[in-house]
Structure 1
Amino acid sequence: MTARDPLQQKIAILYQALEPPVIDGARKEAKPGGYSDSGADIGAALVSAGCTVVTPVAEPDPVRVFDWVWPDTPEGIADALAAGATLLWANTVVFAGHPLQDASRCAWILGPDPQAMQAIDDKLETNARLRDAGLPVARSWLIDGDADDLAALLTPFADSLPLVVKPLRGRGSQGVSVARDVDQLSLQVAALAASRRFGAAIMLEQFLPGEEITITVLPAAARAGETAPFALSPIRRFDQVADVAPYNGDVPVSRNSAALTSEECAHPAIVAVTAACEKAAALLEIRATMRIDCRADADGRFLLFDVNAKPNLTGAGRPGREDEDSLSTLAAAAAGWRYSDFLLAAARAAWTNKEDPE
């Protein structure tokens, strides 16, 4: 069941204080600050839209991010609920066993289901699931970066080069590189595993040489009249470094990304990949905003290559944040939504496991 009106809720925004667990040798590195920056952006924008935001301090300062957010620990969630929160905005990475699961029995939740997000974060399995459903997805393989016979393990991939080397459970473009020969492949896989930032589970992925876009998809509940997940305008990524989009913490996405024009959105290849992203979101039964990265192959056909169940949702508004729009915020702007409009739409998809949701 989804919430009716975020303006009638008392919203508490959670940030990442819990370290994600190591799962089958793969680790999703925690973000410095735990998404507290975007949490403060969200909180300030919701207040400007007339929402009631429950904060740890009585009068949050727009420049002090931790004035706006609660830790996603059992204690932090309990404190937010005790302060009157009726809706918990999970601006954090959740996983099976996350305390948000228990909280969903007594509050509304905005964010992915913890069990579902853990499954989606396994990039190899998610891509395989989408490919098995007939969707256009880049090919990928799993490698144990700690294998004693790593060189022999990688030799069969010589004919598939270039290949993308990435963590199985990564965050953004961190740890991602492109290997163009066997020596590069061995060095990049070994170095990524040895860093221990993401564990030893390494994913090799088909390299796609064409244009890169990213598509934000929202649950049907986010907009009146929708019966299935719907996509916003695709965003073009440009100025890649060594064929990899820079991490948004290093280069703001507003400097290397832009919405496609209406004419570009009508191109058959874009129409097809947009529909594929909507189908992927429906298959994954999304409960919150999702973003899917796509890239064109040598023939101009776009393939899905990365599903992000917890996209960055920073937005301009607070002092000093003029250049901090996220990819999803840019897509919302192309649809005619202000940052606050987008957040209110996203909040309408909140869900609960309460026995009596009234």
Structure 2
Amino acid sequence: MSTFEHLASLDGGQPVAVLYQVLPPPLRDGLRKPMKPGGYADSGADIAYVLRQRGVPVLTPRAQPDVNTHLDWVFAEDAAGIAAARAQGARLLWANTVLFQGHPVERAMRDTWIVGQLPRLTEIFDDKWVTNETLRRAGCRVAASLLVSATPRAGALALDRLGEQDLTARGLRFPLVLKPVRGRGSQGVVRVEDFPGLLQAAHGLFAARVDGAPEVPLYGDTAIVEQFLPGEELTLTVMPPGHYLLQGKEVHQPRHWALPPVRRFNHHDGVAPYNGIVAVVNNSEALEAPRQAEPAVQALIQDCIRAAELVGARAPIRIDCRGDGQGQFELFDLNMKPNMTGAGRPGREQQDSLTCLAARAIGWSFGDLLLNMLRQAWRSPLG
């Protein structure tokens, strides 16, 4: 029997508090996911503002929040922030942050509704190497890769011992992609054209440090070397099972399901630029309906749905995929906490996220997407 309950209906009018990131994710095996500058307060404010506009009782740390001040709309994710939200009467916490095992949300989820992932699963599957190996073993098409480290360690090849023959043995051919194991989006991701370029990029990645803390590695001492896929890039948002409002009708989705794929274009050196640099509305668009019906795209959608099931997604996840140049798509990056900015607040008209673009393709506004996410809130009364 499941130990989780699901909200399913908004009729109860549960007061909502949106959380933002103030806690650095813990160090795991020498790796730490970098915090996002601003801690997702921008998207948290977008969410809170639009939900309030749609009639949802949204609580805020300031009684009269300024529409242009992100932090007026969101509570800190730490124990004090959650306590402040609950003291105001919050019965639902929107975890717009990076969760992990031991996160303060765990103590609240027994009697408070949660929009977000299960913390322990987020921590596991924020490790891109673990995630891709899990998906590969389950039969999903995943880009070929290997793990390299600054120093010898189990399961990885030490960088000073890495040879081109190691790449060949794993089916890797230049150009390749180097990326952090616990990265955020395309931050730290680089395409390399040859072996000297790979070594130089890897040394640079391992040498990167947190701003203001020169003793703390930004990405850790391990990285992924991955086959560069030359084909079209598509990103898919996969929604959890539950009850949804689609075109004015209540629809029960008994399993995970995908929003329409979004096509990425205007890459920089073969990599989609980080959304903090180039707004995705300027380099992305929903895939047209005839393309969605193509067998290769349909196979990709099924792989992404299977991936969402494997990681136990309880809220939207986003999976980045590219064509292999031979007519098939491969998965290369699963995001347990996709960006959730959206148009709504004044001056935020260009801030739709990739998930928002996908939602608009089925007729949902940003507000519709948020209300449907709210309906999938869960809690775990038995812990």
TM-score, normalised with respect to structure 1: 0.96
Is residue 158–residue 181 contact of structure 1 (8 Å, CA) maintained in 2?
A: no
For residues 137-286 of structure 1, what are the structure 2 equivalents within 5 Å? 137-146=142-151, 150-159=159-168, 160=172, 161-195=174-208, 196-223=217-244, 224-286=251-313
Deviations 1:72-115 (A, max 9, x none): 00110111111100000000001111111111122111100110
Question: Equivalent residue of 2:252, what SS?
Answer: coil
Give the direction of change, closer, same or farther, for the CA distance of 1:157–1:69 in structure 2 (3 Å limit).
same
Deviations 1:158-191 (A, max 9, x none): 5322211000000010000011111001001111
In the alignment, is residue 4 of structure 1 matched against residue 8 of structure 2? yes
Map of 2:108 onto structure 1: 103
- Structure 1 window deviating more from structure 2 (48-57 vs 148-157): it is 148-157
- Structure 1 window deviating more from structure 2 (187-196 vs 149-158): it is 149-158
Letter in 1 for 2:62: V
Is residue 21–residue 96 contact of structure 2 (8 Å, CA) maintained in 1?
A: yes
Deviations 1:42-79 (A, max 9, x none): 01110111101011011212111111000000110111
Deviations 1:181-231 (A, max 9, x none): 110010011110111211111111121110001000110115231100110
Higher helix share: 1
Is residue 10–residue 84 contact of structure 1 (8 Å, CA) maintained in 2?
A: yes
Give the direction of change, closer, same or farther, for the CA distance of 1:234–1:277 in structure 2 (3 Å limit).
same
Displaced runs of 4 or more, over 6 A: none
Question: Equivalent residue of 2:6, what SS?
Answer: coil
Query: What is the CA–CA distance in structure 2 between the aligned matches of 1:106 and 1:344, rounded to whole Å?
Result: 21
Query: What is the CA–CA distance in structure 2 between the aligned matches of 1:254 and 1:149, rounded to whole Å?
Result: 40
Query: What is the CA–CA distance in structure 1 between the aligned matches of 2:17 and 2:319, rounded to whole Å?
Result: 27
Map of 2:118 onto structure 1: 113
Aligned residues: 356
In the alignment, is residue 307 of structure 1 matched against residue 312 of structure 2? no
In the alignment, is residue 73 of structure 1 matched against residue 78 of structure 2? yes
- Structure 1 window deviating more from structure 2 (4-13 vs 320-329): it is 4-13
Question: Equivalent residue of 1:53, what SS?
Answer: coil
Query: What is the CA–CA distance in structure 2 between the aligned matches of 1:158 and 1:278, rounded to whole Å?
Result: 30
Query: What is the CA–CA distance in structure 2 between the aligned matches of 1:340 and 1:203, rounded to whole Å?
Result: 37
Letter in 1 for 2:233: E
In the alignment, is residue 93 of structure 1 matched against residue 98 of structure 2? yes
Is residue 158–residue 182 contact of structure 1 (8 Å, CA) maintained in 2?
A: no
Map of 1:130 onto structure 2: 135
Q: Tell me the CA shift for residue 320 of structure 1.
A: 1.2
Is residue 70–residue 77 contact of structure 1 (8 Å, CA) maintained in 2?
A: yes
Query: What is the CA–CA distance in structure 1 between the aligned matches of 2:161 and 2:372, rounded to whole Å?
Result: 51
Is residue 222–residue 346 contact of structure 1 (8 Å, CA) maintained in 2?
A: no
Query: What is the CA–CA distance in structure 2 between the aligned matches of 1:99 and 1:88, rounded to whole Å?
Result: 11
Identity between Structure 1 and Structure 2 (%): 48
Query: What is the CA–CA distance in structure 1 between the aligned matches of 2:222 and 2:158, rounded to whole Å?
Result: 15
Calculate the aligned-residue CA RMSD, in Å.
1.5
In the alignment, is residue 332 of structure 1 matched against residue 337 of structure 2? no
Give the direction of change, closer, same or farther, for the CA distance of 1:53–1:141 in structure 2 (3 Å limit).
same
Query: What is the CA–CA distance in structure 2 between the aligned matches of 1:334 and 1:170, rounded to whole Å?
Result: 28
Is residue 148–residue 158 contact of structure 2 (8 Å, CA) maintained in 1?
A: no
Query: What is the CA–CA distance in structure 2 between the aligned matches of 1:35 and 1:107, rounded to whole Å?
Result: 21
Is residue 175–residue 192 contact of structure 1 (8 Å, CA) maintained in 2?
A: yes
Letter in 1 for 2:360: A
Q: Tell me the CA shift for residue 156 of structure 1.
A: 2.9
Letter in 2 for 1:41: D
Query: What is the CA–CA distance in structure 1 between the aligned matches of 2:270 and 2:331, rounded to whole Å?
Result: 16
Query: What is the CA–CA distance in structure 2 between the aligned matches of 1:283 and 1:308, rounded to whole Å?
Result: 13
